[in-house]
Structure 1
Amino acid sequence: MSFRLRLAAWIAGPQPAPEVAPEQPRKPFTVSPEAVARSRIPPAQPEAEKLNPFKILPPPAGVLPDKSMAMDESALPGQSWAIQQAAAGLYNEGMAWLGFPHLSELAQRPEYRRISEIIATEATRQWIRVTAAGEDDKAKKIQAIGDKLKEFGVKELFQRITEQDGFFGRAHLFADLGQTEGHELATPIGNGADKVTKAKVGKGALKGFRTVEAVWCYPAEYETSNPLKPNWYKPSAWYVQGQKVHATRLLTFIAREVPDLLKPAYSFGGLSMSQMAKPYVDNWLRTRQSVADLISSFSVSGIKIDLANVLQVDADGLFRRVELFNNLRDNRGTMVLNKGSGPNDPAEEFFNVSTPLGTLDHLQAQSQEHICSVAGIPLVKFTGITPSGLNASSEGEIRVYYDGIEALQEKFLRPHLTTVINLIQMSEFGDVDPDIGFVFEPLWSLDDKAKAEKRKAEADTDAVYIDSGVLDPLEVRKRLASDDESPYAGLDVDDVPLPAPGEDNPPAPETNEEETEEAEA
């Protein structure tokens, strides 16, 4: 400092310290209406429409004939009462019929489709064997019946029927006797073996069979006033696109019947496998999507910031800041944070929260297993996933599953399959042989090793019985020749080979022709 400046400062004397403006109090934290408005994404979901489980849905246009009224267009006896008694809980969990359009949509999803396809495939995989009782030779009849079953594709038709019953709860099989329209279709043809069938079905009259989906069929006649009559809530005729067809010509398949009060609401069908599995499939789809969403965002990152001044007027700056953070949020990106240089410019702090993913596979697997439990299908059949763990095996579950399929065959397929075979006999032979029937082939089959062990055990048992005199070797030979699974099937029973020479069986002495003639004399 120069001499003049020091002199001026001495003359002026000490100067007072400059006044410092007091610090302004910080404004309280508030959230602007604009910020709240922009945070409302997505909007609230509307409440699901409640369904009436007893509501009778009309058929598609063209199913009923013109100027006709279905028997259930007005409330049936007991129907109004049932609607009044329906509780709100019945509207949920698939307690109301979904209708053919929605059931058709569900048939596109693999979770629903695999249930019906697996059951239909297993029920018709081994198919049937035509049998005959009695001592008469009926091989030609059995061969003719088998040829017609293959010609008409009955196995494939019954597989398709089982699938349709799983999709819609009802399926139909039309017996084609040469008429596809006209009043003759409204007349009965009997059960395939009675006098009515013999009068209606002549030799060569049967042309084949066809499946008809339930959506094209609507009940025409049924009893609603007297439960003691045979057609109580059981249609004796159906409308098929305006054409009235008797129930004996249009065989109806229903695997899971509903109570009488619900039959009109279900269009006189049964409970479909798709509707039974719907709550569990919905849970599976929601769990599957939630797991996928959680995996894609299991790590949540954020920035702590003082929002007192950010959200007071508008939130544009905040949302631009968030958008900038999201754009740079990557393993190869760089996030720039504000260190804070003033009282109104606070520093930012980064944080990260990660969700553990250790048990998601178990939760997702359990949701999928619930679908299998409703359908009664083993997990290895439904998903192809084999059990894991110590001594894990699915053999027992598959055996139990086959027991259920065999019960389904007897209950669901046998009645109408018997009618089909009777119609074939009536058309081929002019009569039905009561000694001819059929059996379903067993679904469980042994491998080559197990079959060899079984034959070895049976051979040891036969040897013990022969040695003790209980059986004769010829009886064992007959059993082996008649067993289709035996390697000796078709063996000539009478062509018994001579035993090999040995100590117990010395060779016969040689004789000339003269000694033989003298011995015979």
Structure 2
Amino acid sequence: MKLFDWFTRKAGPVPAAARVEPVVKAKERRKMPRFVTVAPDELQSRAEALFKPYQPPAGVRGDGKPGLAMDTGLSSYMGSNYNIVSNFLADGLNFKGYADLAAMMLRAEFRKPVETIVKESTREWIKFRSVDTKAEDDGDVSDRLREIEGEFRRLRVRDVVRRQITHGMGYGLGHIWIGIKGAALNTEGQEKPLVIGPNGVQKGSVEQLINIDPIWTNPNAYNADNPLKPDYYRPQNWWVQGTLVHTSRLLTVVPFEVPDILKPAFNFGGLALPQMLEAYVHNFLRTRQSVSDLVSNFATKVLKTDMAGNAQTDGCMDFGDIDADSVTGRVAAMNAWQSNNGTFVIDKENEDFAINAVPLGTLDALQAQSMEFMAGIPGIPLVKLFGIQPTGLNASSDGEIRVFYDEIAAFQEAHMGPTIRAIFHLVQLNLWGEIDPDLDFEFVHLWQLSEKEAAEVEKIKADTDAVNVQAGILAAEEARERQAGDPQSIYRNVNLSGAPPDPPDPERDGAGLEGLLKRGEESEDG
């Protein structure tokens, strides 16, 4: 009996049947899931590694000073709950450390949301005012407000607060150090409490305000025994590069605070915005790279050819083998002519050619969706964060921008307000040795009316005043007081005190522009 070889078409003897022993693959042992019981010692070590207090770089704490001790109750509780430890790691909630956060801030996808919030929250800044609006016309009050503005410029308060918020958003913690004249820059001079009051800060004693990067700070001691005390989980003093500084000399901000049980692990700071964005940024980067790879290779050329006809034998095997050079050479020739100016030559009978292309119509939507997730976590409109305008008929971002400005206003009051108010009192003590209770400040809202819109609002107010005066609800003097006290009025800089002038007599003085010019000439002659 003869057997034909498929490739050589030559008759050959039938090989003798040989017994082939079946290959039995050893069954792999199934790995146990992560949530099964782990040795208590291992759980304890993992918990202590995750939740132990932050260890600063060498030199931050005083020479030979030990770090904060681990709360035994916390480590014991975490060690007995493996799900907490594993989920904490899987979700990326453990403190990354300032070095990793600093490296993350070098990426535009992490830094741009931080910069956007910081710039918007300090763009319009604040304005100083008197609690009694009538007193603002007083020369003494106006002079005091101007002195405060000058002192804010001297201390660069706007720049210092902007950088503090940058540290708070980027690292979870921001410090401003209050430099007092005559206070030595060592532990002896800085560990004493600083009272921001008449009996604390002396007139002319405030020298400077300096931002302290959180990596150079570490709390020295805190109360973890009695929650009824005001210093519960609040550091009493901080190590600043080897110098012990009382907490009253540092103005601290923590935008995203963590629970008390986790504060020691986070250096008594909070979550950083880049850490909150990490999963969404990585998804965007992966999507962006996938889209780029797909665009570069969206089409695959398919050559349908006679593989047997392109096969040759070299006699090395009983059944022959395929000559790879003949096949790959055919493909290489076609790849060399793949430009639009090239020509493919194929066999009419035994070959065919086709292109399989991936549809690219929805790639922009997939990438845009991943960008929206990045903008959704910090709550920033796409037009503010990426400059992407909404599409569609009558599409507008005004609503989203107004909501974002409301979020910024709430952020200013919650996190910037306490710091600026402390500096506001500090400046008054430095200028006059006292705090004026009639002076205050307020944040300027980011949403501003255009000149046309402001004029339309003023027209509505004027019409309302005219109706109220004519109906006897208000007197003309009261309407003038309302105009003088309105901070948005176009007449806010005009002295409207006293009785209003008599209206012109059309028969005697004339009306319109001619009468106005006539009265002006008469007043000059008089």
TM class by shorter chain equals 0.7 to 0.9
Q: Which residue of 2 aligns with 1:330?
A: 339
Q: Which residue of 2 aligns with 1:119?
A: 117
**Distance of aligned partners of 1:505 and 1:260 in 2 relative to their CA distance in 1, 3 Å threshold:** same
Quote the Cα distance in structure 2 between the aligned partners of 1:106 and 1:358: 33
For residue 479 of structure 1, report the CA deviation from its aligned partner: 2.8
Q: Which residue of 1 aligns with 2:27?
A: none
Task: Show CA shifts across 1:304-333 (max 9, x none).
Answer: 563888998799747677666555543344
For residue 275 of structure 1, report the CA deviation from its aligned partner: 0.9
For residue 496 of structure 1, report the CA deviation from its aligned partner: 4.0
Structure 2 counterpart SS, 1:439: strand
For residue 366 of structure 1, report the CA deviation from its aligned partner: 0.7
Task: Show CA shifts across 1:150-176 (max 9, x none).
Answer: 111111211111111111011001111
- Would the aligned equivalents of 1:63 and 1:240 in 2 still touch at CA under 8 Å? yes
- Would the aligned equivalents of 1:499 and 1:505 in 2 still touch at CA under 8 Å? no
Q: Which range moves more in the overlay, 257-266 or 165-174?
A: 257-266
Q: Which residue of 2 aligns with 1:35?
A: none
Are positions 1:101 and 2:99 aligned together? yes
Structure 1 counterpart SS, 2:265: coil
Are positions 1:60 and 2:57 aligned together? yes
Structure 2 counterpart SS, 1:220: strand
Quote the Cα distance in structure 1 between the aligned partners of 2:294 and 2:52: 40
Are positions 1:388 and 2:388 aligned together? no
* Aligned equivalent of 1:188, options 179, 190, 193: 193
Q: Which residue of 2 aligns with 1:220?
A: 220
Q: Which residue of 2 aligns with 1:290?
A: 290
Q: Which residue of 2 aligns with 1:367?
A: 370
Quote the Cα distance in structure 1 between the aligned partners of 2:334 and 2:76: 61
Task: Show CA shifts across 1:489-519 (max 9, x none).
Answer: 2223237433211369999xxxxxxxxxxxx
Quote the Cα distance in structure 2 between the aligned partners of 1:259 and 1:109: 28
Q: Which residue of 1 aligns with 2:405?
A: 402
Task: Show CA shifts across 1:96-136 (max 9, x none).
Answer: 22211111111111221111111111111111122223576
Quote the Cα distance in structure 1 between the aligned partners of 2:105 and 2:280: 15
- Would the aligned equivalents of 1:236 and 1:247 in 2 still touch at CA under 8 Å? yes
**Distance of aligned partners of 1:75 and 1:133 in 2 relative to their CA distance in 1, 3 Å threshold:** closer
Q: Which residue of 2 aligns with 1:79?
A: 75
Are positions 1:474 and 2:477 aligned together? yes
Aligned 1:163-182 pairs, distance under 5 A: 163-178=166-181, 179=183, 180-182=185-187
Give RMSD over aligned pairs.
3.0
Q: Which residue of 2 aligns with 1:33?
A: none
In the alignment, residue 121 of structure 1 is paired with which amino acid?
K
Task: Show CA shifts across 1:9-58 (max 9, x none).
Answer: xxxxxxxxxxxx9843459xxxxxxxxxxxxxxxxxxxxxx996525442
TM-score (norm 1): 0.79
Aligned 1:6-155 pairs, distance under 5 A: 23-26=4-7, 53-72=50-69, 74-85=70-81, 86-134=84-132, 137=138, 138-155=141-158
**Distance of aligned partners of 1:105 and 1:499 in 2 relative to their CA distance in 1, 3 Å threshold:** same
Structure 1 counterpart SS, 2:377: helix
Q: Which residue of 1 aligns with 2:524?
A: none
For residue 141 of structure 1, report the CA deviation from its aligned partner: 2.0
Q: Which runs of 5+ in 1 are unaligned?
A: 1-20, 28-49, 341-346, 508-521
Quote the Cα distance in structure 2 between the aligned partners of 1:437 and 1:419: 12
**Distance of aligned partners of 1:337 and 1:429 in 2 relative to their CA distance in 1, 3 Å threshold:** same
- Would the aligned equivalents of 1:257 and 1:270 in 2 still touch at CA under 8 Å? yes
Quote the Cα distance in structure 2 between the aligned partners of 1:313 and 1:149: 86
Task: Show CA shifts across 1:42-79 (max 9, x none).
Answer: xxxxxxxx99652544212221111111113x455313
Q: Which range moves more in the overlay, 103-112 or 52-61?
A: 52-61
**Distance of aligned partners of 1:301 and 1:432 in 2 relative to their CA distance in 1, 3 Å threshold:** same
For residue 217 of structure 1, report the CA deviation from its aligned partner: 0.8
What is the identity percentage for the equivalent residue pairs of Structure 1 and Structure 2?
36
Q: Which range moves more in the overlay, 401-410 or 386-395?
A: 386-395
Quote the Cα distance in structure 2 between the aligned partners of 1:80 and 1:241: 32
Aligned length: 453
Quote the Cα distance in structure 2 between the aligned partners of 1:245 and 1:290: 51
Quote the Cα distance in structure 2 between the aligned partners of 1:474 and 1:127: 34
For residue 277 of structure 1, report the CA deviation from its aligned partner: 1.0
In the alignment, residue 408 of structure 2 is paired with which amino acid?
I
Quote the Cα distance in structure 1 between the aligned partners of 2:239 and 2:194: 17
Q: Which residue of 2 aligns with 1:4?
A: none
- Would the aligned equivalents of 1:53 and 1:95 in 2 still touch at CA under 8 Å? no
Q: Which residue of 1 aligns with 2:521?
A: none
Aligned 1:317-356 pairs, distance under 5 A: 317=325, 326-333=335-342, 349-356=352-359
Q: Which range moves more in the overlay, 452-461 or 300-309?
A: 300-309
For residue 220 of structure 1, report the CA deviation from its aligned partner: 0.9
Structure 2 counterpart SS, 1:77: helix
Quote the Cα distance in structure 2 between the aligned partners of 1:327 and 1:80: 68
Structure 2 counterpart SS, 1:443: coil
TM-score (norm 2): 0.79
Quote the Cα distance in structure 2 between the aligned partners of 1:79 and 1:232: 19
Q: Which residue of 2 aligns with 1:262?
A: 262
For residue 398 of structure 1, report the CA deviation from its aligned partner: 1.2
- Would the aligned equivalents of 1:174 and 1:251 in 2 still touch at CA under 8 Å? yes
**Distance of aligned partners of 1:458 and 1:65 in 2 relative to their CA distance in 1, 3 Å threshold:** same
In the alignment, residue 181 of structure 1 is paired with which amino acid?
N
- Would the aligned equivalents of 1:251 and 1:416 in 2 still touch at CA under 8 Å? yes
Structure 1 counterpart SS, 2:152: helix
Structure 1 counterpart SS, 2:449: coil
For residue 386 of structure 1, report the CA deviation from its aligned partner: 1.6
**Distance of aligned partners of 1:325 and 1:399 in 2 relative to their CA distance in 1, 3 Å threshold:** same
Quote the Cα distance in structure 2 between the aligned partners of 1:228 and 1:199: 27
Q: Which runs of 5+ in 2 are unaligned?
A: 9-45, 512-526
Q: Which range moves more in the overlay, 476-485 or 216-225?
A: 476-485
For residue 423 of structure 1, report the CA deviation from its aligned partner: 1.0
* Aligned equivalent of 1:501, options 500, 505, 510: 505
- Would the aligned equivalents of 2:74 and 2:261 in 1 still touch at CA under 8 Å? yes
Quote the Cα distance in structure 2 between the aligned partners of 1:390 and 1:449: 25
Quote the Cα distance in structure 2 between the aligned partners of 1:220 and 1:56: 11
- Would the aligned equivalents of 2:312 and 2:322 in 1 still touch at CA under 8 Å? no
* Structure number with bigger Rg: 1
- Would the aligned equivalents of 1:118 and 1:382 in 2 still touch at CA under 8 Å? yes
Quote the Cα distance in structure 2 between the aligned partners of 1:349 and 1:57: 67
- Would the aligned equivalents of 2:122 and 2:158 in 1 still touch at CA under 8 Å? yes
In the alignment, residue 498 of structure 1 is paired with which amino acid?
D
Q: Which range moves more in the overlay, 138-147 or 298-307?
A: 298-307
In the alignment, residue 390 of structure 1 is paired with which amino acid?
L
For residue 484 of structure 1, report the CA deviation from its aligned partner: 4.3
Quote the Cα distance in structure 2 between the aligned partners of 1:218 and 1:348: 74
